[in-house]
Chain A
Amino acid sequence: MRRAHVIIALLLALPPAAAAQELRLPNKEGSTKFAVIGDTGQPGPGQTAIAEQMAAWRKRFAFPFALMVGDNLYGSESARDYQKKFADPYKALLDGGVKFYAALGNHDDAGQTQYKAFNMNGQKYYTFKPQNGVRFFAIDSNYVDQKQLEWLDTELAASGSDWKIVFFHHPLYSSGATHGSADLQRELLEPVLLKHGVNVAFTGHEHFYERIKPQKGVAYFIIGSSSKLRTGDLRKSPLTVYGNDSDYAFMLVEIAGDELYFQTISDKGTTLDTGSIKRAGDVGPNQNVTTQPVVPQAKPSPVQPGPPKPK
């Protein structure tokens, strides 16, 4: 069984203000390009600004699809809510042909699986392959039962894809004060992810952005601040490579060959975080021999996460 391990390298130093709106992705022809948003279902200035930034950046980085990591609609889910909380804010993207692939969060009703614009095809968990060499797996982390675990095991085993990317709502690793790591889901999901060499996991639930130090060869991102923000909730921990809980955010991602590039952008269009993940080598099926990725120390965060220290 093929098992890749991951090497993370920080491509560039965090940008000065003048260069903050530069595209930091290679934007190669034929690469897999996508955006990632999370906890998006609350109308308001944050959601609007993120949707506008996504549309603006798409002119420079033509991503054909976007992942949604859950909590797609907060509160009621009438037809008007779908319009107000999704179709209206992302109209420019939808009109431009962007396909959204949703995972369910704890605020999402199962009826969303039937909404064509979420591309779930009636399933709470599903897989899709937009291009050769990359396969995505949407997981329902609200309800990790034996049936879903068996499905995930089977689909990952059968995928044969070079890149295996999972996305779901609850972060298996997190430095959030409100929620923190989803230990119980991790106990069940992580062994399956490791067994099949999953490379990257995108999650939400926490209303901030956090790039986690790769854990057992898997790179984890939390991007739950695309419409809701919980300022002061990120308690920087040994898990944290970079975090931001003061700006709404979304991610742009590009996969070219053995490298995945990411750029996290705020509602103001500034680049919060950027870097790349490089896969290298084959690792046997025994997870104990997985090589821990090398993670160069990132430059100090421009935002010091966490609440102010008491005087």
Chain B
Amino acid sequence: MQVNRWLTIALFSSACAAPAATETPTLTDVALQEGGKKTSTDPAVNAHAAALAEFKVRVDAYADLHAKLAKGTAKLAQTEDPAKISAAKAALAAKIQAARAGAKHGEIFTPAVRPVFKRLLAPELKGEDGRDAKAVLKDDAPAPGTVPFKVNAKYPENQPLPTVPANVLLTLPPLPAPLEYRIVGQHLLLLDTAADLIVDYILNAITT
């Protein structure tokens, strides 16, 4: 399991060396297609790595968009007034929701990368570590039905953020801030933790 974990990290790190698709901080289809071409058409790169490389292009594009929008009233800054934290988060969420109004399920977790994530998750949720991981997920689970599986939806404020089992986290491709993985039930979420937005998700990512 450990070998698989480090192989995954090494593979993803290698994939990360692929040229960035664009400086444009918006998620345009053109930019994403360019990013995809630069990796997926390389015959030396296998399909697994190509899917992960494309995933990286997409999460980086999201992080760039986030950084561009997190300015002005939407900038999260140190404050003694918690109302300003809430207001900045709400402003940021609104700006991202507007900028990604047309975003669809699968835009970041593409059909090509979903099976890769399922394969990465499966061994970490089997055996003794798997039992521990499932216990952690159950332990911190939000109340059933409270998390909307909808792109651009807000993660419910009153619900705990499920702890991501450490063994699972090391297996998955690293993410740029402020994106994090969260697992709710059998499903994998990509969460913008600064805006509390659901960026994308894979339903039934855990099949074991």
A residues near B (Cβ < 8 Å) are: 75-79, 81-83, 106-112, 114-117, 121-122, 141-147, 170, 178-179, 182-185, 187-189
Contact = CB atoms under 8 A, between A and B. Distances in A.
Contact of A106 (B129, B132, B160): B160
A121 B79 CA distance: 10
Interface in B73-101: 76-83, 85-86, 88-89
Contact of B169 (A111, A144, A170): A144
Given A110-B178, A115-B85, A184-B167, A122 B161 contact: no
Nearest to B135: A180
Given A114-B76, A116-B79, A77 B86 contact: yes
A77 B157 contact: yes
B163 A76 contact: no
A233 to B, nearest CB: 13
A74 to B, nearest CB: 9
B78 A121 contact: yes
A191 B76 CA distance: 34
A79 B170 contact: no
Contact of B166 (A75, A114, A188): A188
8 contacts: A79-B81, A110-B193, A111-B89, A116-B78, A122-B78, A142-B164, A184-B129, A189-B166
Contacts of A107: 160-161
B32 to A, nearest CB: 25
Given A106-B161, A108-B161, 5 more contacts: A78-B82, A79-B86, A143-B164, A144-B169, A184-B129
B85 A145 contact: no
A78 B83 CA distance: 7
Interface string B142-167: 00000000000000011011111111
A271 B136 CA distance: 33
A187 B128 CA distance: 13
Contact of B76 (A111, A117, A141, A146): A111
A123 to B, nearest CB: 10
B86 A111 contact: yes
Nearest to B191: A110
Given A114-B76, A146-B174, A170 B193 contact: no
Nearest to B172: A145
B78 A179 contact: no
Interface in B101-131: 129
B39 to A, nearest CB: 22
Contacts of A146: 9, 170, 174
B139 interface: yes
A183 B169 contact: no
Nearest to A83: B82
Contact of B139 (A79, A115, A122, A179): A179
Contact of B85 (A108, A114, A142, A182): A114
A132 B169 CA distance: 35
Given A111-B86, A114-B78, A146-B9, A170 B163 contact: yes
Given A110-B194, A122-B76, A185 B86 contact: no
Of the candidates A77, A79, A107, A114, the one having the most CB atoms from chain B within 10 angstroms of its own CB is A114
Contact of A142 (B80, B163, B174, B178): B163
B64 interface: no
B77 A114 contact: yes
Contacts of B88: 114
Contacts of B139: 178-179
A187 B80 CA distance: 37
B80 A117 contact: yes
A111 B85 contact: yes
B76 A116 contact: no
B133 interface: yes
Given A106-B163, A114-B79, A143 B180 contact: yes
Of the candidates B132, B139, B158, B163, the one having the most CB atoms from chain A within 10 angstroms of its own CB is B163
Contacts of B164: 142-143
B82 A79 contact: yes
Contacts of A187: 166-167
Contacts of A184: 129, 132-133, 136, 165-167
Given A111-B76, A122-B78, A79 B169 contact: no
Contacts of A108: 161
Contacts of B82: 77-79, 81-83, 115
A203 to B, nearest CB: 13
Interface in B183-201: 193-194, 196
